Structure 1
Amino acid sequence: MMRVRHLTAFIAALTLTACVTTNEVTGRSQFITIPPSQDAALGLEAMNEVKKTTDVETDSPDAKRVQRIGRRIAAISDNPNLPWEFVVIDEDVLNAWALPGGKIAVYQKMVDSFETDEELAAVIGHEIAHAILRHGAEQMSRAQAQNLAIAGVGAAVGATTEDGQMAQMAVTLGALAAQGFVQLPHSRAMELEADDVGTLYMARAGYDPRAAVRLWKKMRAMKEGGGQPAFLSTHPTDDKRIQRLESKMSTYLSEYKAR
């Protein structure tokens, strides 16, 4: 039992010490096990898999619009030399996402729902910020560490009991606790961070940052039923996003007017 505890603690301490870095854009400490040199390869591999199973548009008028806005914002970002790629996924889904290495997808419903370039720039700027801040690599790294910790819980319980059901219950409870108190809150923090940096980027690229507030007000109006409670969601509430953006709007506008 003591050996299992010591081994688990040693592995966890070694992993944490080796993988905590400081983000150059935000100054925030991040736990990332994946080197930046692997981001492009991971993102390309994932995007290729998406293209095999999804209707991805790269030459349609909407795709060219997304590419035009995306390249304009990426050019003034903190890493303009990433192998940026911007596509539209032809599905009736109000969503967008970013993969490591600068692979950005916007769903058709998102493009159709926001007709002005400024509002669409708020969406794309947000996703560009995710890529620049390496949030995908950070989430993958946290998932790896979480799995290691859960495996340690199972090993520790298994060393003290022959009851396999009890050991499995300990692992399950550990997974739920990690999701509820570590993974989800951290996801919400990264969403707010991407809101902030993405709005700065769109302002520096010449898009009115006040469109970011309009975007989230429209998103709030389009949602039906209110969704999950905030504490069970990987995303902050729309009201919280709007409030934070409005509180920092003077900074965004200064960047917009100074361009």
Structure 2
Amino acid sequence: MLRRSPLRLLTRSAAYLKEEGTGTAPQPFSDWLQSRGFRDVRGYQHFRRRSAFNAQGRLLPGIAVATVGSLVVWTTCREEIPYTHRKHLILVSQDQEKRLGQQVFKQVKEEAVQQRKLLPASHPYTRLVQRVGKRISQQATDGFRGTGVHSHMQGLEWEFLVVDEDQENAFVVPGGKVVVYSGLLKMLDDEEELATVLSHEVAHVLARHVAEKVTQSMTWLAFFIILEWTLGLPLPIDIISGLVMSQNSRKLETEADRIGLTLAAQACYNPSAFVPVMTKLGEAEAKAGFKTPEFLRTHPVSTTRIRQIKADLPAAEEKPAHLMPGRPNLPTWARQT
């Protein structure tokens, strides 16, 4: 995705324990509960904070459980990403990932239909996006040659929709479902630029980035639960996880840029067209007054992305045997609203 909101971690909700009075004598377990806390005027049972001594007593077992569990998961659940060959932890099955994507895509599509913003298949924008998207997705699926997990790309039913909104954005969900907004298409100058955008989105599916984000959320939540249990102290989970997930998200966007350059080149598009796309997005952000610090962003700032894209271009252009420069620009009818 070109610009996207951070994936939030699930947080635990505090629950109070309430015992119902029966008029009978207190049972031993109830006596033990009362000795561990106090009951307020509403009848809710509150537990006392564990002492430092008890927290220290749990420290070694907590570390042992976390270490052993992490080693087992880390050694058995890692996958290699095609092209970059980075290995990442995945705890989500391919079927689960695909179902998640289908649910999100169905909701987005239904909302666009209800708002009468979904452009029909006969619209020039839709035909253009589907034609270029099909070429890129076929390259990522059937044209792949190399190492890395690629089985999830087989049998995908790719769909490319165009939503008539002014926002300059596009996104993809697992299962090969891509949504492009007309505001982005109006900003692009030619088919080469569109190809680099769609290559970036297809790269997210190829690299299973959504599954990686869900896995990161699960593992960080488990880590914080163990840490709270060990220390006996409440932690600002939302703040810490937000910073960590934002940093990881920026890394995934950079990786999608790198893979997307290669996919565009292999599909005989000019990958250097991604540079003007990022330049235009940066100008649009500046015009809109978007000044969020980079460490809080889910995407790198445009200047950072442009610098990295230029560094990755030589390697991407070496992949295909040749390029086909001078592909046709967007015709006049494709630029009209």
Give the structure 2 partner of residue 163 of structure 1: none
Distance in 2 between residues matched to 1:10 and 1:250, nearest whole Å = 42
> Is 1:72 the equivalent of 2:130?
no
Distance in 1 between residues matched to 2:67 and 2:156, nearest whole Å = 37
> Is 1:202 the equivalent of 2:276?
no
Give the structure 2 partner of residue 162 of structure 1: none
Deviation at 1:5, TM superposition (A): 4.9
Deviation at 1:253, TM superposition (A): 3.2
Kindly report which structure 2 residues correspond to 1:98-109, keeping only aligned pairs within 5 A, or say none. 98-109=172-183
> Is 1:18 the equivalent of 2:76?
yes
Residue 62 (structure 1) aligned to one of 125, 142, 148: 125
Distance in 2 between residues matched to 1:248 and 1:14, nearest whole Å = 35
Deviations 1:198-223 (A, max 9, x none): 11111111211121111111111222
> Is 1:97 the equivalent of 2:171?
yes
Give the structure 2 partner of residue 219 of structure 1: 281
The TM-score, its normalising length taken from structure 1, stands at 0.85
Distance in 2 between residues matched to 1:221 and 1:178, nearest whole Å = 30
Deviation at 1:54, TM superposition (A): 3.1
Query: Which structure is larger by alpha-carbon Rg, 1 or 2?
Result: 2
CA contact 2:133–2:195 (8 Å) conserved in 1: yes
Deviations 1:97-147 (A, max 9, x none): 111121111112112211411111111110000111100110111011111
Between 1 and 2, higher relative CO (CA 8 Å, sep ≥ 6) is seen in: 2
User: What letter corresponds to residue 81 of structure 2 in structure 1?
Assistant: N
CA contact 1:184–1:232 (8 Å) conserved in 2: yes
Residue 45 (structure 1) aligned to one of 91, 97, 103: 103
Distance in 2 between residues matched to 1:91 and 1:19, nearest whole Å = 40
Q: How many residue pairs were aligned?
A: 247
User: What letter corresponds to residue 199 of structure 2 in structure 1?
Assistant: G
Give the structure 1 partner of residue 4 of structure 2: none
Deviation at 1:248, TM superposition (A): 2.7
Q: Which runs of 5+ in 2 are unaligned?
A: 1-57, 145-152, 324-337
Give the structure 2 partner of residue 179 of structure 1: 242
User: What letter corresponds to residue 214 of structure 1 in structure 2?
Assistant: P
CA contact 1:12–1:149 (8 Å) conserved in 2: no
Deviations 1:34-62 (A, max 9, x none): 12243332222221122233344352321
Deviation at 1:157, TM superposition (A): 3.6
Distance in 1 between residues matched to 2:266 and 2:79, nearest whole Å = 27
Runs of 4+ off more than 6 Å: none
Provide closer, same or farther for how the CA distance between residues 258 and 90 of structure 1 changes in structure 2, counting only shifts above 3 A: same
Q: Please, which moves more after superposition, 239-248 or 124-133?
A: 239-248
Deviations 1:62-99 (A, max 9, x none): 12211111001111113464221111122221211111
CA contact 2:166–2:181 (8 Å) conserved in 1: yes
Task: Identify the structure with the greater helix proportion.
Answer: 1
Deviation at 1:176, TM superposition (A): 2.3
Give the structure 1 partner of residue 295 of structure 2: 231
Residue 87 (structure 1) aligned to one of 161, 186, 195: 161
Q: Please, which moves more after superposition, 76-85 or 142-151?
A: 76-85
Deviations 1:10-51 (A, max 9, x none): 444443343222224321110110122433322222211222
Distance in 2 between residues matched to 1:90 and 1:231, nearest whole Å = 31
Q: Percent identity?
A: 29
Distance in 2 between residues matched to 1:54 and 1:220, nearest whole Å = 27
User: What letter corresponds to residue 187 of structure 1 in structure 2?
Assistant: S
Distance in 1 between residues matched to 2:154 and 2:69, nearest whole Å = 36
CA contact 1:20–1:30 (8 Å) conserved in 2: yes
Give the structure 1 partner of residue 90 of structure 2: 32
CA RMSD after TM alignment: 2.2
Q: Please, which moves more after superposition, 219-228 or 103-112?
A: 219-228
